[in-house]
Structure 1
Amino acid sequence: MHTIEAAQILAAGVAAGAINALVGSGTLVTFPVLLALGYPPVVANASNTVGLVPGSFAAAYGYRAEVATHRRLLLPLGAAAVAGAIGGALLLLVLPDATFGAVVPVLISLALVLIVLQPWLVRALRRRTAAGPRPVGPVLIGAVFAAGVYGGYFGAALGVLLLGVLGILVSPNLQQVNGLKNIIAGLANTVAALVFVAAGIVAWLPALLIAVGSVAGGVLGARYGRRLPDAVLRTVIVAVGLTAVIRMVA
């Protein structure tokens, strides 16, 4: 690998780590770079997943104060995400690429609809429910499990999906659920990465370069992103999500 190529991967890792800390979809930065450098799609996806894991947990650490608000949800939702990610990673190894191209844009679009409608949906739910912590019900567990399957399969915009689900079913405070999202996404990516490592489809040099960059980007994204008002963060989420859809259907 040439020095310029290594620098491109490292820079993409920094950008992806920052985007993942704020929203998710950092994969849409690093994955195309690996493809452009000649890595096969499955290898590029696996290497990218392995590389972005450290950045997810760096971002989660930056949001540790917000995570503490919903600490009780970490075990059930983390377990659901892990179980889903195992299934999704195995699907990646056996399903054709055409399936991915057809399904993923639909899922991202659904997540964006949830983000845009979130304030209205939250007000509607508040009128129908009592005050206090919302229970960990089967709808929430099932939604996080489904997001985990998606994350294990590809992972681009996993954060958008999780923010859409958590923002409606857990809390209207996007900064609080963003911290929770970083941990859940990190767990899903970790499990998927372990499956890819066991399958022997990881290119380790680009994975390591992305890992170094994603940690730096995750720290920066968490440091500055947690200061954003909900309205601004929601705008960023929609912008990134729309970019993801456009790039994947173009």
Structure 2
Amino acid sequence: MEHDLFLLGAGFVGALMNALAGGGSFVTLPALIAVGVPSVEANASSTVALWPGGAASAWTYHEGRQRICGIGTGLMLAVTLAGGFAGSLLLLWTPSSSFNVILPWMLLLATLALAFGRRIGPALQGRLNGRRGPVVLIQFALGAYGGYFGGAVGLMMVAAWSALGEHEIKMLNGPRTLLVSAANTIAVVTFAFAGAVRWPETLAILVGGLAGGFAGAKIGRAVPAHVACVATLFWTAGVTLVFFSRAYLG
């Protein structure tokens, strides 16, 4: 019962963070590990628990058909699904002992993306002069990252598209949300079929997340965006340091 309440609270806070500034997995993943779920199963379960919120956001953009770096949304969706499937399989094939060492670096990468992702895109605008091949390969890699871990993958996509020459980034919120959700969706299906999801713990987080998402929509109107971003970065940096200490200092 105590664990259930703890996970309900984690789901609430994680969904609240996602609604305000992102980074919800920095709450739900550590919470699952804290109650004894092995790290690979914890990562899979966290992805499943947070999936409904992302899927709901993607549905609001389901009519979007914008091209990305000159490539149709359909091809980008197929590539992202393939990458997400590959990444989710890679996670399942990673022993928890190895993932414990990899995880702090994944958290650091996501923290840096949260901190600098919105600036990196404009700074790299058109630097890679993307052609069809490189765009597809990079999108596959982003899909794989989304299936494997996924923290801040949406910001990474925007930065990559900017570097590849996409100028209408502000018009691509729909495709970005759709593609992030696609990578998560194929990962969720893969994890479920593989039996990698700890359902009691996942459902507790999911229920808390429903309340947190609703609260986040209300609170977001009152909390300045920069305050939410700064608070999120303090939290994500702190969690990252804890996991580095756990992995390398014992």
TM more than 0.5: yes
- Aligned residue for 1:122? 122
Distance 1:114 1:17, change over 3 A: closer
Using the alignment, how far apart are the partners of 2:208 and 2:82 within structure 1? 28
Secondary structure in structure 2 of the residue aligned to 1:38: coil
Within 5 A, what are the aligned runs for 1:129-140? Answer: 137-140=132-135
Is 1:100 the counterpart of 2:95 in the alignment? no
Find the partner of 1:158 among 153, 159, 164.
153
Secondary structure in structure 1 of the residue aligned to 2:11: helix
Using the alignment, how far apart are the partners of 1:225 and 1:242 within structure 2? 22
Across the aligned residues of Structure 1 and Structure 2, the Cα RMSD in angstroms comes to 4.0
Which residue type is aligned with residue 149 of structure 2?
F
The count of corresponding residues between Structure 1 and Structure 2 is 239
Q: Is the 8 A contact 1:19 1:26 kept in 2?
A: yes
- 5+ long unaligned stretches in structure 1: none
Within 5 A, what are the aligned runs for 1:23-34? Answer: 23-34=21-32
Shift of 1:78: 2.8
- Aligned residue for 1:194? 189
- Aligned residue for 1:16? 14
TM-score computed with the length of structure 2 as normaliser: 0.71
Find the partner of 1:46 among 37, 44, 47.
44
Using the alignment, how far apart are the partners of 2:121 and 2:102 within structure 1? 25
After superposition, the C-alpha distances for 1:166-195 in whole angstroms (9 at most, x for unaligned) are 565546867x65654443222212211111
- Aligned residue for 1:75? 74
Shift of 1:217: 3.1
Within 5 A, what are the aligned runs for 1:176-215? Answer: 180-215=175-210
Using the alignment, how far apart are the partners of 1:26 and 1:106 within structure 2? 17
Secondary structure in structure 2 of the residue aligned to 1:125: coil
Which residue type is aligned with residue 23 of structure 2?
S
Using the alignment, how far apart are the partners of 2:119 and 2:227 within structure 1? 14
Distance 1:165 1:52, change over 3 A: same
Distance 1:171 1:31, change over 3 A: farther
- Range with greater deviation from structure 2 (6-15 or 238-247): 238-247
Secondary structure in structure 1 of the residue aligned to 2:125: helix
After superposition, the C-alpha distances for 1:111-146 in whole angstroms (9 at most, x for unaligned) are 6269637547625637x89xxxx9884444333322
- Aligned residue for 2:248? none
Shift of 1:218: 3.6
Using the alignment, how far apart are the partners of 2:156 and 2:234 within structure 1? 14
Shift of 1:7: 2.3
Identity fraction in percent = 33
Using the alignment, how far apart are the partners of 2:179 and 2:221 within structure 1? 17
Shift of 1:68: 6.8
After superposition, the C-alpha distances for 1:69-118 in whole angstroms (9 at most, x for unaligned) are 77444433332222111111111222233543444544554562696375
